[in-house]
Amino acid sequence: KVRNTRKLDEITFDEMLELASLGAQVLNNRSVELAKKYGVELEVLSSINPVPGTVVKEETKVEGMLIKGVAKDTDVAVLTVKDVPDVPGMSFKIFSLLAQKNINVDIILQTTGRDGRKDMSFTVPLGDAESAVSALKNATSRIGGGDITVDKGCAKVSIVGAGMQSHSGVASTMFEALFNQNINIKMISTSEIKISVIIDEEDADKAVAAIHDAFIN
């Protein structure tokens, strides 16, 4: 799906943990957590070709690639609760309901309040979308919000790299790559070593290729 891919010589535990959690499907994220906890270096090897692989370790050379990889996850649904009262405690009421159902929430976006109301959007795993909608609809009186919508045609595309902590313009480069492909961004989430965007699922492969070209090539 992506041309001119490169094999990494090494990657940090934190970078690999982010990639594994964001849909890279290379290593199980729990295996990386345990390796990091006990300081056990991993090497990802080919089972077919006897060549050096990628070492996963605590620290890697500072020089090198700005980002280590691009990941795609289509196990995403975006829920929006409209016209929620813009008062303290509403976020707690909404997300405590989902926590009781053991539904993990990832990216959260809250609109600016208007007329004492706001819209709250967030992502959940695709398989939990209906349960989340049901739980929220059953608690409409407690929440005091309006319509609840769900968008299942989404994907999360992420870049990961410790190098972005000390370099400016990383987000700009990523967003420019998406703009050049006429891909609209619905939601954005960032951390020190990660930037994730929610886009239409039909654009996901195109987005991964464009972002990879912008950074890796």
| Range in 13-17, 35-39, 135-139 the model is least confident about | 135-139
pLDDT of residue 63: 60
Cα–Cα distance for residue pair 16/60, rounded to 1 Å: 12
Cα–Cα distance for residue pair 46/56, rounded to 1 Å: 15
pLDDT of residue 60: 78
Higher-confidence residue of 38 and 60: namely 38
**What is the CB-side half-sphere exposure of residue 119 using CA atoms within 13 A?**
11
Output the CA–CA distances (angstroms, integers) from residue 182 to 36, 69, 200, 207, 217, in the order listed.
39, 22, 11, 10, 20
Q: What is the band of 64 on the pLDDT scale with cuts at 50, 70, 90?
A: low
Cα–Cα distance for residue pair 54/44, rounded to 1 Å: 5
Cα–Cα distance for residue pair 25/72, rounded to 1 Å: 9
Q: Give the distance between the most distant pair of CA atoms in the chain.
A: 65
Q: Are 82 and 143 in contact (CB under 8 A)?
A: no
Output the CA–CA distances (angstroms, integers) from residue 49 to 42, 46, 53, 122, in the order listed.
18, 6, 10, 43
- The mean pLDDT value for 154-163 works out to 93
Q: Are 156 and 72 in contact (CB under 8 A)?
A: yes
The neighbouring-strand residues paired with 108 are 122
Higher-confidence residue of 78 and 141: namely 78
Two structure tokens written together for 160: 């990961």
Residue among 43, 39, 38, 69 nearest 56 (CA): 43
- For tokens 């964001």, the residue is 22
3-state secondary structure at position 94: helix
The three state secondary structure string of 133-155 is HHHHHHCHHHHCCCCEEEECCEE
* pLDDT for 176 beyond 90: yes
- The mean pLDDT value for 206-217 works out to 91
pLDDT of residue 147: 87
Higher-confidence residue of 102 and 142: namely 102
Burial 118-151 (b: 16+ CB within 10 A, else e): bbbbbbbbeebbeebbebbeeeeeebebeebebb
pLDDT tens digits along 34-49: 999 999 999 999 889 8
pLDDT tens digits along 108-129: 998 876 788 889 999 999 999 9
Q: What is the band of 186 on the pLDDT scale with cuts at 50, 70, 90?
A: very high
